[in-house]
């Protein structure tokens, strides 16, 4: 079984709809992250959480919100989706920033029409 | 402003030759640097890392070099194999927060 799972894997939605992307992990890590990948822009941080009571904005948090429901679950919401939020979204976990770095999920491909 | 820069979007190398991927950074407070590899339809996977107190770290065919005075690191893959074809991301760790990634370099290794 995968250590970091993301649901759904693919989603097509319309402008203005509310979307939730879910992430769960079995690695027992305290830290969880949401990144998005766009062609030519690399991986950009949306939100991160170092424990259940800790939520921090990343460099591109506008238009997104998150919820850390438990140590193992971290969800990302788009309150009112817009086309420029079309991207590949990755959840990641870590027990420390270094040296092992992040463990990524398989990604969710989101298309906003 | 980008704190981690990968200025070469792509690199093509023949099988058996050396691949050199470069990364520059601007923040002298970064204390750890990592390389990730990403295949299509998969999440990035950790490849190799280096602490700011070292200038070289080696793991099999992969070696990372750090030049702190130049704020530059590079990943060497020797010998390159077709299975190494992927997107490579450089990342840096500012203390107490999340990793910052570069834009990635797409490596193509031809047989």
pLDDT at residue A97 greater than cutoff 90: no
Q: Do A97 and B98 touch (CB under 8 A)?
A: yes
Of the candidates A56, A85, A5, A77, which has an alpha carbon nearest to the alpha carbon of residue A47? A56
Which residues of B, range 79-98, sit inside 8 Å of A by Cβ? Answer: 89, 91, 93, 95, 97-98
Q: Do A101 and B89 touch (CB under 8 A)?
A: no
Tokens representing residue A70 in the block: 């438990």
Place of tokens 């919401």: A77
Question: What was the pLDDT predicted at B59?
Answer: 96
Query: Which chain A residues touch B44 with a CB distance below 8 Å?
Result: 43, 90, 102, 104
Instruction: Compare CB distances from B43 to A48, A97, A104 and report the shortest one's residue.
Output: A104
pLDDT, tens digit, for every residue of A43-71? 999 999 999 999 999 999 999 999 999 99
In a mutagenesis test of the A interface, which of B88, B99, B100, B106 is the best target, namely the one with the most A β-carbons within 10 Å?
B99
Identify the burial level of A61 via C-beta atoms within 10 angstroms of its C-beta, where 0-12 means exposed, 13-18 middle and 19 or more buried. middle
pLDDT, tens digit, for every residue of B52-111? 999 999 999 999 999 999 999 999 999 999 999 999 999 998 876 788 999 999 999 999
Q: How confident is the model at residue A39 (pLDDT cuts 50, 70, 90)?
A: confident
Place of tokens 């894997």: A9
User: What residues contact residue B60 under an 8 Å CB cut-off, 6+ apart?
Assistant: none
């Amino acid at each position: 079984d995968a250590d970091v799972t993301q649901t759904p894997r693919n989603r097509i939605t319309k402008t203005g709809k509310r979307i939730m992307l879910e992430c769960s992990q079995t690695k027992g890590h305290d830290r969880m992250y949401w990144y998005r990948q766009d062609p030519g822009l690399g991986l950009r941080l949306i939100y991160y959480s170092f424990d259940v009571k800790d939520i921090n904005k990343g460099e591109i948090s506008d238009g997104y919100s998150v919820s850390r429901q438990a140590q193992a679950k971290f969800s990302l919401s788009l309150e009112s989706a817009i086309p420029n939020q079309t991207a590949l979204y990755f959840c990641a976990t870590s027990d420390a920033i270094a040296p092992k770095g992040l463990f990524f999920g398989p990604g969710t491909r989101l298309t906003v029409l | 402003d980008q704190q981690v820069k990968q200025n070469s979007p792509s690199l093509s190398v023949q099988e058996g030759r050396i691949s050199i991927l470069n990364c520059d950074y601007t923040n002298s407070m970064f204390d750890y640097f990592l390389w990730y590899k990403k295949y299509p339809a998969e999440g990035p996977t950790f490849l190799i890392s280096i602490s700011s107190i070292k200038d070289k770290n080696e793991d099999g065919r992969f070696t990372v070099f750090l030049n702190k005075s130049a704020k530059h690191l590079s990943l060497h893959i020797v010998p390159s194999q077709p299975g190494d074809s992927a997107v490579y991301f450089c990342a840096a760790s500012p203390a107490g927060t999340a990793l910052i990634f570069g834009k990635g370099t797409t490596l193509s290794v031809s047989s």
